[in-house]
Amino acid sequence: GENVEQHPSTLSVQEGDSAVIKCTYSDSASNYFPWYKQELGKRPQLIIDIRSNVGEKKDQRIAVTLNKTAKHFSLHITETQPEDSAVYFCAASKGGSYIPTFGRGTSLIVHP
């Protein structure tokens, strides 16, 4: 089955800095890669996603890049703000089952 590795497990940055979270996946058939933000005790919220036919996608301060050959994808947050502090999860899934495999999560802490 699919295996998703996520790094780092914890990321601490100063407000205004950029943050990068990286994930790798093992199943070359995976073709959908969402990123979720989860605040403490809350539900995961989809913040951005990318499909395998696209190499990069951007939404304001958030961007995701995908390297299919290397089987890794990354989340980039620019101009971080304290409200960006949360746990971020990457995931990978493929058509047919659409069952996602989640990474272990990255706790992002943005210091004011």
- Of 68 and 102, nearer to another protein (C-beta) is 102
| Spatial separation of the C-alpha atoms in residues 102 and 86, rounded to whole Å | 16
Q: Which part of the chain contacts another protein (CB under 8 A), choosing from 11-19, 21-29, 67-75, 92-100? A: 92-100
Q: Are strands 106-111 and 10-14 parallel, antiparallel or unpaired?
A: parallel
Site string for another protein, 24-43 (x = CB under 8 A): --------x-x-x----xxx
DSSP 8-state code for residue 84:
G
Binding site for another protein (CB under 8 A): 32, 34, 36, 41-46, 49, 89, 93, 95, 97-105, 107
